[in-house]
Amino acid sequence: MIIMTYNPYSLEGKTVLVTGASSGIGQSTAIECSKMGASVILTGRNEERLSLTLEKLEGTGHSMIVANLDDETEIEKIVEMASQLNGCVCNAGIGLGTKPAVFYKKKELEQIFTTNTISSILLLKGLVKRKKLINPSSVVFTSSIEGNAITTIGNGMYGMSKAALTAYAKTVALELAPKGIRCNVVTPGMVKTPLTAPTGELTQEQLDADAAKYPLGRYGNPQDIAWGIIYLLSDAACWITGTVLKIDGGITLV
């Protein structure tokens, strides 16, 4: 009997940092990375929820760093505490609900760009300057189809913050290529996470009707995005940098 052990998507022997790991896509990515053999460093601002993620990881050698990425000194703490990394998933993000452009407030713009864009920029800056990312290594940014492939009324602040992150990722991919650091982006469609749960703005019935518009008949699950991220972290993607992987159930086709 032949036992197949070849797996170019394996993360065995790799150490991966995942931001925003306490829930949603970040939590699922951390769990799936551990299943693929990685040692995972979790970071997020909620210690209790981060601890619950840590308990769900398979294998050994995992750790967590409680930190608020909106605070530059906390970013420096993550950089200081992180070990040598084979991969980094910049996933932390927020949404502030929908609002027409004429009602944007400076404080809200600063808040969403700080979390969704600037925090990842400063984190990667610190990791590179402190030589925490080995050669070769992989960085994956979680962006969105919003602002990159589509736009919807009232969702401009979120879309702008994600589009800016995508633009940055392409530039830094070019700049860091000589160091062997690959930088890529995933742009999910609507994914079932706490961020997209029914609120006062949208009922479950409205969400169900919207999900029915997707050619594949549903919203995404966090694992759908995690598996795409794992591909970009793995050696299977060793000749891919500066690319945008759209994972959207086909919604941008309609």
**Which residue's structure tokens are 């700049």?**
175
Whether pLDDT at 176 is above 80: yes
Q: Which of 56-60, 201-205, 235-239 has the lowest mean pLDDT?
A: 201-205
Share of the chain above pLDDT 70, in %: 96
Q: State pLDDT tens for residues 61-76.
A: 999 999 999 999 999 9
Whether pLDDT at 197 is above 70: no
How many Å apart are CA 88 and CA 6, to the nearest integer?
24
Residue 84 token pair: 């040598």
Residue 165 token pair: 């992150």
Q: Mean pLDDT across the stretch 69-95?
A: 97
Say if residue 174 is exposed, middle or buried (CB neighbours under 10 Å; 0-12, 13-18, 19+): exposed
Whether pLDDT at 94 is above 60: yes
Domain ranges of the chain: 15-249
Q: Mean pLDDT across the stretch 177-192?
A: 97
Among residues 68, 166, 175, the alpha carbon closest in space to that of 128 is found at: 175
Q: Mean pLDDT across the stretch 153-179?
A: 98
- Does 158 participate in catalysis according to the annotation? yes
What pTM was computed for the model?
0.95
How many Å apart are CA 84 and CA 184, to the nearest integer?
20
How many Å apart are CA 193 and CA 201, to the nearest integer?
16
Amino acid at 48: E
Q: State pLDDT tens for residues 30-55.
A: 999 999 999 999 999 999 999 999 99
How many Å apart are CA 63 and CA 50, to the nearest integer?
10
What class does CATH assign to 15-249? Answer: alpha beta
Please name the residues in contact with 187: beta carbons below 8 A apart, sequence gap of 6 or more.
143, 144, 145, 148, 149, 162, 166, 244, 245, 246, 247, 248
Please, which residues bridge with residue 246 across strands? Answer: 187
Whether pLDDT at 209 is above 70: yes
Q: What is the mean pLDDT of the chain?
A: 95
Q: State pLDDT tens for residues 214-232.
A: 999 999 999 999 999 999 9
**Whole-number pLDDT of residue 207:** 87
Q: Which of 104-108, 205-209, 216-220 has the lowest mean pLDDT?
A: 205-209
How many Å apart are CA 132 and CA 179, to the nearest integer?
12
CB 133 within 8 A of CB 127: yes
pLDDT-derived band of residue 196, with 50, 70 and 90 as boundaries? low
Catalytic hit among 6, 104, 158, 219: 158
**Which residue's structure tokens are 């990394």?**
85
Residue 232 token pair: 């970009």
Amino acid at 122: L
- The C-alpha torsion from 220 through 223 and 226 to 231, rounded to 10°, is -100
Please name the residues in contact with 194: beta carbons below 8 A apart, sequence gap of 6 or more.
23, 24
Q: What is the CA radius of gyration of the chain?
A: 18
pLDDT-derived band of residue 1, with 50, 70 and 90 as boundaries? low
Q: Mean pLDDT across the stretch 159-176?
A: 98
Please name the residues in contact with 55: beta carbons below 8 A apart, sequence gap of 6 or more.
none
Share of the chain above pLDDT 90, in %: 92
Whether pLDDT at 199 is above 60: no
How many Å apart are CA 21 and CA 206, to the nearest integer?
28
